[in-house]
Structures are given as C-alpha cells and as structure tokens.
Chain A
Amino acid sequence: MSELLEILHPSYVLRNALYGGILTGLVLPLIGVLMYARRMVFLGVALPQVSATGVAAAIFWHLAFHEGKGPHSDFLIALIGSTVLTTGVLLLLAALERQGRGLVEGRIGAVYVFAGAVTILLLASEHIPEVGVVQLLRGQIIAISDTDILLLLGFYSAVAAILWYCRRDLLLVCVDRDVALSMGKKVWAWDLILYALVGMTVSLGVLTAGPLLTFAFLLLPTMVGLRLARRFHAVPVVAALAGGLIALSGFLLSYSLDWPTGATDALLGCLVLGAVTLTQWVFHLARGHG
C-alpha cells in the first residue's frame, strides 16, 4: 500500500512513466477492439514490428543524410518515420486484401519477417549509434518528459474522441462491410480513418511502451473485454478499464520487484486473461452441474 501511495504521489520521480503507461493501457485497447472486430488481430503482431522499422529507418535517414543535425528531436523524427511506414503498410495490405487473392495471414507474416530483418540490418549500420536507437525501439517510457506526457494526453484524447463519435459507423464497417456498402456508407473513407488511427496509435505506443507491450495492450485487454461484456458496446469500456488497471498494477509490481515494466505489464495481462477465462469456465461447469 505504501508503494502504491509512493508512486501515485505527484513528486514521484517516475510519475510520467506511470501516467504514460496508464494512458497507453487505456487507449490501445479501444483500437484493439476495432482490430478484433475487423479481424485484423494478426496484424497487431506485425504492425509494432513495422513501426519499429519505421523508427530505425527514420533515424538512419536522419543520421546518414543530415548527420543528425536539425531542429527536430529524435523522438519526433522516429514518430514521423514510424507513423508513415505503419500507415503505408496498412494501406498496402488493405489494398491487397480487397483484391481477394492469396492468404492474408501469409502476407502479414511476410511483412513481419521483412520488417524484422530490415530493422536488424539498419541497427547494424555504422550510421546508427546502437544505444540510443535501441532505447527508442524498446519504448522510452522511463525517460518521458512533462511535455511528452501532455502531447500523449492530447493525442490519445483526440483518438478516444474520434472513436467515440464514429463508433457506430466504424462498428458497422468492421462487422459487416457489405451491409455498410449497401447503405451507401463511404467504406473506403472509414477504412482510411481506421487505418490512420491504428497507424498513429501503434506508432506512438511503440515509442512509448515498445513493440511487445503495444501488442499486449492491443490484444489482452480486448480479449478480457470480450469475455466480460454482455453487449458489444460495453466491450471498449471494459477493455480500456482492464488496460488501465493492468498498466497501474504492472507498474506497481515492477517497481516492487525491480522487474522491467513492459514485460511485467504483458505478463500480468496474460495472467488476468487466464484468470478471467478460468473463472468463467469454473462458473460454466458449476452452472452446468447445478
């Protein structure tokens, strides 16, 4: 309890890391729910990797062609590179999916391998100082500043507001694309909005929390929400609450045990999902026999 009070105190030295983690935990599941409804879950593994490649490529370009000089911070350059590449790859995959040829999962797997290989090769380049970029790729949540937190808050608030206002049409397009088309909805425009939101949120998530935790927050709270909610409109709320609580509890646990925050959060998310699944299974059995 004293540790909880300590990390929640405004003078706590790592408070921004805590706030950043909670914000990421609250907002990424909102995107995760739509990705799940659109059957894009597998893409959730590949996108953080693509995002990491975007970070490495942008830093490589900045250092190789501009010698690292310029008015912009590494963080901003990494964010732009990551967002552009992630959104571009999403649009390319969506265009190929619409042609309806080949196996979608096969293409996503190939993208994952390609992105992983390119990231490693870029990191091996003599232009990139290893330590700083690896820090960016792991997520620099510990080093997050007051300004970054405000930016993160502003961006995530905008994402949450867009998702709230567009929830009906995004749901319809994700759940039943053909019916949306028959109603005259501009499905391509909604797809574009969805992909842009996914691309930007995943990019910011990777820079803040790293690829592993980004995927964990996209998937695990969403699955908890899908298990607990009795109607679909409640799923994002339950998922966001689960994500926020996992981020807070994970931070507290990692602080107490001196474990890495990202891996602790991800593991805790898995444990929560496992506990919810097991509890429901036990209830189901008890009711069946009762």
Chain B
Amino acid sequence: MAEPILTLRDVTIGYPGHPVLRNVTLDVFPGQSVAVLGPNGSGKTAFLKTVAGVLRPLAGEVRLRTASGDRGGGVGYVPQRATVSSLLPLTVYEVVEMGAYDGVKPWRRLGEEAKRRIAWALEEVGAKELACKAYTDLSGGQQQRVLIARALATNPAILVMDEPLASLDRDSVRSMVVLLARLRSEEGLTMLWADHFVPALQEVVREVMLIEDSRLIWSRIDVLVDRERRLLAPTEATQS
C-alpha cells in the first residue's frame, strides 16, 4: 500500500486561544480526493489552512510527504475567491505567475521551466485565452479557474481548495466539477477541499470528512447523498 501523502496526528486546529477541532488524526493517500463538509463556522477553513501551512497547529503534528514521484511540490492552496483584491489591475497571467514564485530566489528571473508551468496551468483550466484579461473582469467561475491554475503552477503534491464551488451558478459548478474530475483522473492529483454542495461532488470525491461537534467523521459520498435525498423527499412531496 502506498504511503500517505498527508498525515495528521492528534492535531488541534484553530486560532490561539480558540481551538475549533481537537485530536484530528488522519491519512490522505496519493490520488485520493476528499471533501470536508460542515456548516459555516465549523472549522473547515481553519482545517484547510492548517494543512496548507497558513495556520500552525495548536498541538500535534502535520506531515506532508512532498517527494512523491514527479510531483515534488508542496501544497497548492486555492483560497476563497474574495482574497484577491478587486482593486488591483492584475491580469490573469500575473495571478497565475504568482504560483511560479515558489522556490525562485527574489533576484533570479523566472526560468523557462516556470514559464512552461504557467502555460500548462492556464491550458489545464482552459484559461489560456484569458491570459491578458484583467482578473477583475472575469466571471466568478473564470476567477475560480484562474486561482486553481495558480495553485497548479506551484507544481503541487496536493491541491487544497476552500469552497471552490461557492457562489457559482449551475453551469459554472458543472464545468468546475468536470475540470476537477479531469485533473484527478488525468493528472492523478490528490485533492482536499471544503464545500457545502454535496451532490455536485459525487463525480470527484468518494470519501467525505464531516465536521460535527468539533470532530471529524469519515463517510462515503454516496451515503451522504442518499441521506440528503431522504431528508429532501418529504419537502418535495409537500411542494408537489
């Protein structure tokens, strides 16, 4: 059996003086795609930020095995869209280029390899034609693709995404799910993401981590979808 790419052992997650998840122990294996589900304020973002290295764990150990095959990078972090300021005239290329800053000394120019990676990332998410456009002029779905491209440009071992489907219309959700499913199957990317939208995740994830009462509970996506259908059924019957 392959070694886990991400390991958490007895980790307490949260902010100083305000822990939100305790004693988290889990392994994520290469190629696995896991969704973290929970209500607002349950600690999904704090969990992802801890895995991405944005937040330090309050206790315990987070270990990322970075030297896996040809993906030698670390975490490709996709934050919520609102984190990139709409007040700056950043082009799509400039946003994606930030992903290639990883490992480049400040005084060095971006090499050919980095430029190839940027071009590949733009191509992968279907944003090549948008490269010269202003990031703020894009639709929500396009902006999300650009942020994923930036994470891909880091050459990540694992893609960590914070609500990539939030505030997207139905068509954008559909095309985003197709994109992520393709990245998983063709590129073999390991993915960890937080979201609310259960049914749309079925094509990309099998396992789900539910956050309930400050604990993480593993489940399977089909079990959750069944449960949600049953919960919705009486409402639909009443409406009809």
Contact = CB atoms under 8 A, between A and B. Distances in A.
Interface of A: 36-37, 39, 100, 165-166, 168-169, 171-172, 175-176, 178-179, 181-185, 226, 229-233, 235
23 contacts: A39-B85, A100-B15, A168-B106, A171-B98, A175-B90, A175-B98, A176-B79, A178-B54, A178-B79, A178-B83, A179-B77, A179-B83, A182-B76, A182-B77, A183-B102, A183-B154, A185-B101, A226-B88, A226-B89, A231-B89, A231-B91, A232-B88, A232-B91
Given A175-B84, A176-B83, A165 B75 contact: no
Contacts of B87: 36, 226
Contacts of A185: 101
A195 to B, nearest CB: 17
A233 B98 CA distance: 12
Nearest to A167: B106
B90 A182 contact: no
Contacts of A169: 101, 106
Given A230-B89, A231-B89, A231-B90, A176 B54 contact: no
A165 B104 CA distance: 12
A182 B54 contact: yes
Pairs of residues from A and B, 9 with the lowest C-beta to C-beta distance, nearest first:
A182-B77, A182-B52, A183-B102, A181-B54, A231-B91, A178-B54, A232-B90, A165-B107, A166-B106
Nearest to B55: A181
A135 B79 CA distance: 49
Nearest to A231: B91
B150 interface: yes
A226 B15 CA distance: 35
Contacts of B98: 168, 171-172, 175-176, 179
Interface in B68-107: 74-77, 79, 83-85, 87-91, 93-94, 98, 101-102, 104, 106-107
A160 B187 CA distance: 42
B44 to A, nearest CB: 14
Given A178-B54, A231-B89, 10 more contacts: A168-B101, A168-B106, A172-B98, A178-B49, A182-B52, A185-B101, A229-B89, A232-B89, A232-B91, A235-B89
